[in-house]
């Protein structure tokens, strides 16, 4: 009568298990200590020279999407196109013609964070990057 506790092909099975575990955990230890650095969106010369965006930088970083949504609804629904910020400066509410006029390099500015955060806003399906249009 065979011993019930006996394991057939013990050597092969253990090696197989080791390889399996190694493969499954590969992504974890391969990327260990290599967390992608937070992106640094590059300001164009024009944006640097302007010093100030439509709203303070902290708000623009965290809330530019809300601002753009408000702009969209105000322009399309209320037919209002002029935005006056708290310091009294006026802007034409236009993604392609105001935002991108300063932030000339979409790839160096918008795309950098969007790619890092793995978000794909569909703005550019319709709105034109003036650089690409040329």
Q: Taking contact as CB under 8 A, which single stretch among the options 23-31, 32-40, 82-90, 106-114 is the one that binds another protein?
A: 82-90
Q: Which helix (H) or strand (E) holds 84?
A: strand 82-84
Question: Which uninterrupted H or E stretch holds 91?
Answer: strand 90-92
107 forms part of the interface with another protein (CB under 8 A): no
119 forms part of the interface with another protein (CB under 8 A): no
Pick out residues in 43-62 that bind another protein (CB under 8 A). Answer: 55
Q: Which stretch binds another protein (CB under 8 A): 5-13, 38-46, 110-118, 120-128?
A: 120-128
What is the closest distance, in whole angstroms, from the C-beta atom of residue 113 to another protein in the complex? 22
CA gap 33, 36 in Å, rounded: 9
Residues in a beta bridge with 92: 82
Give 31 or 85: the residue with its C-beta nearer to another protein. Answer: 85
Residue 97: CB atoms within 10 A of its CB come to 12
């Amino acid at each position: 009568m065979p011993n019930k506790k006996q394991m057939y092909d013990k050597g092969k099975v253990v090696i197989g298990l080791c390889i399996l575990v190694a493969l499954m955990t590969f992504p974890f230890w391969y990327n260990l200590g290599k967390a992608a650095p937070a992106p640094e969106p590059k300001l164009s010369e024009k944006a640097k020279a302007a010093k100030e965006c439509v709203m303070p930088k902290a708000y623009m970083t965290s809330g530019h999407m809300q601002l753009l949504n408000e702009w969209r609804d105000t322009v399309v629904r209320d037919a209002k196109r002029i935005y006056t910020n708290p310091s009294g400066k006026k802007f034409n509410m236009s993604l392609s013609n105001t935002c991108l006029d300063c932030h000339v390099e979409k790839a160096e500015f918008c795309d950098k964070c969007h790619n890092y955060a793995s978000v794909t806003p569909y703005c550019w399906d319709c709105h034109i990057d003036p650089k690409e249009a040329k």
